[in-house]
Structure 1
Amino acid sequence: MGKVPEGLKGMDVMRQTTWKGHTRYDFSVNEREGLVVVPANPAEGNPWIWRAAFFDAFAQADMAMLQRGWHLAYYEVSDMYGCPEAVRLMRSFQGHVESQFHLAKKTVLFGFSRGGFYSFNYAAEYPEQVSGLYLDAPALDIRSWPGGYGKAPRAEKEWQECLQNYGLTEETARDFKGNPLDKIDQVAEAGIPILVVYGDADKDAIFSENAEILIRRYRELGGEIKSIVKPGGEHHPHSLEDPAPIVEYLIANCNS
């Protein structure tokens, strides 16, 4: 299964296994679980993708990128909805894996569903650490989901968790200005390329309340953004059966 990276030897939280035939390392950073999957033939410079939520779900593009020599990482902050503390923890994780696995200084974040919160907020806060975003049926406004202020039904459990993580109340959430959609200008100014995949029949991450706003504004600002629509597609399944268009875009635009 390959050698344990030098800097990770002796870590009592380290586990080495396999994931879909690739060597996988599990460990913890700030008492939260993280992992890195190492490709059989790493590409020059050790580029990597970072799945922000739902590791191993709809992983067609993840696998295809591994096969192209990109490392794959994941860090468990999915109960924090991309709040400032989650972003801070993510920065610590990125520094750790870059150092220990000798990864590239920039990553491509995969934001599936609620992963849109983490991915976009992280890119806005640390644009120098991000080479691209792949957003798949992304939630980009907490009031849309899980809040249910628009066309989507409220996800009550998740909404209460979200309010707690952001230090909001039902009243203050109405005027909240810390959503990804409030930070589009920052990410566009940094020149970060974005790929958006969505279904036009999504009833959870409503397109008109989330990705559509991002796509329109990013283009107005002259940002590099490509959208792939799945006609009649709902929130699931994520990704594409054939991930080639995703891989081609990322390789062409985000390999820096």
Structure 2
Amino acid sequence: MRTRFMLGLLALLLTFSVSSVLQAEDAPQKVLVLPGETFSVNGRTAFIFWPEESQRTSPQPWVLYAPTLPAYPDLAERWLHSELVEAGVAVAGIDVGEAYGSPEQQQAFTALYEELTQNRGFAKKPSLLGRSRGGLWVSSWAIRNTDKVAGLAGIYPVYDLTTYPKIQRAAPSYGMTAEELQKSLSEHNPVAKIAALARAEIPVFIIHGDVDTVVPLKENSATLQNAYETNGNGDLVDLVVPVGQGHNFWPGFFRCQNLVDFTIRAAKEGAGIKPGKIRKTRVPEGVVLYRDLQYGGVDGEPLLLDVYRPKNITEPVPVVMWVHGGGWKNGSKDRCQAAWLTQHGYAVVSINYALTDEAQWPTQIENCREAVRWVRQNAEGFNLDGDHIGAWGSSAGGHLVALMGTLDAPENEKHSSSVQAVCDWFGPTDLLTMPPNMVGNGRTRADVANSNGAKLLGAAVSDVPELAKQASAFYQVSSDDPPFLIMHGDQDPGVPLAQSKRFYEALKKAGVEAELEVVEGAGHGGPEFQTSEVRSRIRAFFDRNLKEAE
């Protein structure tokens, strides 16, 4: 009896397994660039990128994305979509083929919307995101469903089908001849009906290059902005126009923090959720932030930087590179204390570099140099002045920027890693005389061997004096070094003020232009370094050496 039961159970399990395989084979096939699922809606392939279970809510905030085609969303967009799902926002789309905003495509969008909102607990008002021709998809649907849209975002989006794909190519999707579609553009072309979006007060964020010949800025995104302004709602449109960019895979299009923030905020507000703190990295007013751009790597792990750029300055701007502190073992680019300089006509590049649990000296300075070379190599793409680059860092970052200004650049660089001005905030400039690296005053040999300096060099500092000198700006000063501004608190418990005083004296002796500002009452950083007086001093220093020197 038991044997017959077990055989029957085995047969049942085999039947279930075969059934599952058949169902899996019959399911819509689509390669996803992020974890999620594919499924069918009215015979069309749809997908969802899901947030982790702990990040999901009810109703679920979400983004309706277009175009969904066999190759889309693609790897170029992976960072963008991963930012959305990490914030608890799902991303969904449906493959309608080359539908170009036709009524059939809109019906498919509605079918997906109903499936997600009625059967899966998704919010009634998603944020819409259209890339290129996907702009036709989302705007056409939004115009006819304004009560179901929390926000509209776009990456060089099409809103005028006469510019792309043009009448002749679009007509078959509408079941019309080219002549018939031409006569009915007032009904079917999104640019003819944008006023509906403006009247519904749907917020918009777009990033669109000014030399796009495939989807011209003027006839598409700029026309949408003008329609909003005509209807008295121009403040609802945020249009970022990267100078010199066309219809391409420039990374700034897909790693724009402003676009991510807008989309998250709209999706959460559409779900009735207060967005709260959205940003991993704060974006100052009037600034566009391109985040997590790879400039190099260490042992297969990418090295990333962020570019903060003034939004409304169309000419190339000088650059200040921020190098974070943290004892060479902690910290990241995300807390950029230099970002305020963007309000004064600078781009700010904030970098990560290898920490001491990843690599030892000289990897850290090599990373900094590589970041400078990346800026020069990509200056045209981000509209930067690659001839005028300053470096600014605090503590361990101060140590590194001081070396960026004093160490000789490697020979035969394709792009120079030299900088034209350095602001050193309380950086150690002589590792051999830093107290944590010296036995005495209660510090044992074991303590010294475990100091941050020892972790940087891979040995107790006193055991490798030549390496320590090579890693100390004090010993690298020469007459051709760039101008320095050194700022140090007179109550600093971590890096003695004497470090900066001796370094300043060495610079002056070599004939280098140098300033030393002792910040009274300040310790190792703190509010004393955030005053308007300190900022004015820093701004004047960089203005003199990066702007007036042009």
Equivalent residue of 2:129, what SS? Answer: strand
**1:232, CA displacement in angstroms?**
0.7
Q: Is 1:173 aligned to residue 186 of structure 2?
A: no
Q: How does 1:109-124 map onto structure 2 within 5 Å?
A: 109-124=128-143
Of 31, 39, 64, 1:50 maps to 64
Equivalent residue of 1:139, what SS? Answer: coil
Equivalent residues of 1:43, 1:68 under 8 A apart = no
Equivalent residues of 1:15, 1:25 under 8 A apart = no
Equivalent residues of 2:209, 2:246 under 8 A apart = yes
Q: Which moved more, 1:176-185 or 1:39-48?
A: 39-48
Indicate the residue corresponding to 2:433 in structure 1.
none
Q: How does 1:124-135 map onto structure 2 within 5 Å?
A: 124-135=143-154
Q: How does 1:124-163 map onto structure 2 within 5 Å?
A: 124-147=143-166, 159-160=168-169, 162-163=170-171
State the distance in 1 between where 2:117 and 2:102 align. Answer: 23
State the distance in 2 between where 1:50 and 1:105 align. Answer: 11
Equivalent residue of 1:58, what SS? Answer: helix
Q: Which amino acid aligns with 2:204?
A: I
Q: Which amino acid aligns with 1:86?
A: Q
Task: Output one character per residue of 1:156-197: Cα deviation in whole Å (capped at 9) or x when no partner.
Answer: xxx43x211223323333332211101111111212111111
Equivalent residues of 1:108, 1:130 under 8 A apart = yes
Q: Say if 1:61 and 1:98 are closer, same or farther in 2 by CA, change over 3 A.
A: same
Q: Say if 1:235 and 1:17 are closer, same or farther in 2 by CA, change over 3 A.
A: closer
- Structure 1 or 2, whichever has the larger Rg, is 2
Q: Say if 1:20 and 1:118 are closer, same or farther in 2 by CA, change over 3 A.
A: closer
Equivalent residues of 2:44, 2:94 under 8 A apart = yes
Q: Say if 1:15 and 1:211 are closer, same or farther in 2 by CA, change over 3 A.
A: closer
Q: Which moved more, 1:49-58 or 1:11-20?
A: 11-20
Indicate the residue corresponding to 1:154 in structure 2.
none
Equivalent residue of 1:246, what SS? Answer: helix
Q: Which amino acid aligns with 1:82?
A: G
Q: Is 1:36 aligned to residue 48 of structure 2?
A: yes
Alignment gaps of 5+ in structure 1: 1-9, 149-158
Q: Which moved more, 1:122-131 or 1:13-22?
A: 13-22
Q: How does 1:225-240 map onto structure 2 within 5 Å?
A: 225-237=237-249, 240=253
State the distance in 1 between where 2:218 and 2:160 align. Answer: 11
Q: How many residues align?
A: 235
State the distance in 1 between where 2:254 and 2:88 align. Answer: 20
Q: How does 1:157-236 map onto structure 2 within 5 Å?
A: 159-160=168-169, 162-175=170-183, 176-177=185-186, 178-223=188-233, 224-236=236-248
Q: Say if 1:230 and 1:217 are closer, same or farther in 2 by CA, change over 3 A.
A: same
Equivalent residues of 2:155, 2:253 under 8 A apart = no
Q: Which amino acid aligns with 1:248?
A: D
Q: Which amino acid aligns with 2:262?
A: Y
State the distance in 1 between where 2:28 and 2:172 align. Answer: 33
State the distance in 1 between where 2:46 and 2:206 align. Answer: 25
Identity of aligned residues (%): 25
Q: Which amino acid aligns with 1:58?
A: A
Question: Greater relative contact order: 1 or 2 (C-alpha under 8 angstroms, separation 6 or more)?
Answer: 1
Equivalent residues of 1:143, 1:173 under 8 A apart = no
Equivalent residues of 2:174, 2:181 under 8 A apart = no
Equivalent residues of 1:16, 1:25 under 8 A apart = no
Q: Say if 1:179 and 1:14 are closer, same or farther in 2 by CA, change over 3 A.
A: same
Q: Say if 1:16 and 1:203 are closer, same or farther in 2 by CA, change over 3 A.
A: closer
Q: Which amino acid aligns with 2:63?
A: I
Q: Which amino acid aligns with 1:50?
A: L
Indicate the residue corresponding to 2:108 in structure 1.
89
Q: TM-score, normalised by structure 2?
A: 0.40
Tell me how large the CA RMSD over aligned residues is. 2.4
Indicate the residue corresponding to 1:78 in structure 2.
97
Equivalent residues of 1:78, 1:115 under 8 A apart = no
**1:99, CA displacement in angstroms?**
3.0
State the distance in 2 between where 1:123 and 1:141 align. Answer: 15
Equivalent residues of 1:35, 1:74 under 8 A apart = yes
Equivalent residue of 2:179, what SS? Answer: helix
Alignment gaps of 5+ in structure 2: 1-19, 271-550
State the distance in 1 between where 2:113 and 2:89 align. Answer: 15
Q: Which amino acid aligns with 1:198?
A: H
Equivalent residue of 2:160, what SS? Answer: coil
Indicate the residue corresponding to 1:152 in structure 2.
none
Equivalent residue of 1:235, what SS? Answer: coil
Equivalent residue of 2:105, what SS? Answer: helix
Indicate the residue corresponding to 2:285 in structure 1.
none
Q: Say if 1:167 and 1:253 are closer, same or farther in 2 by CA, change over 3 A.
A: same
**1:95, CA displacement in angstroms?**
0.7
Q: Say if 1:241 and 1:72 are closer, same or farther in 2 by CA, change over 3 A.
A: closer
State the distance in 2 between where 1:232 and 1:136 align. Answer: 15
Equivalent residues of 2:143, 2:193 under 8 A apart = yes
State the distance in 2 between where 1:200 and 1:30 align. Answer: 39
**1:56, CA displacement in angstroms?**
2.5
Equivalent residues of 1:64, 1:243 under 8 A apart = no
Q: TM-score, normalised by structure 1?
A: 0.83
Equivalent residue of 1:55, what SS? Answer: coil
**1:78, CA displacement in angstroms?**
3.5
Indicate the residue corresponding to 1:249 in structure 2.
262
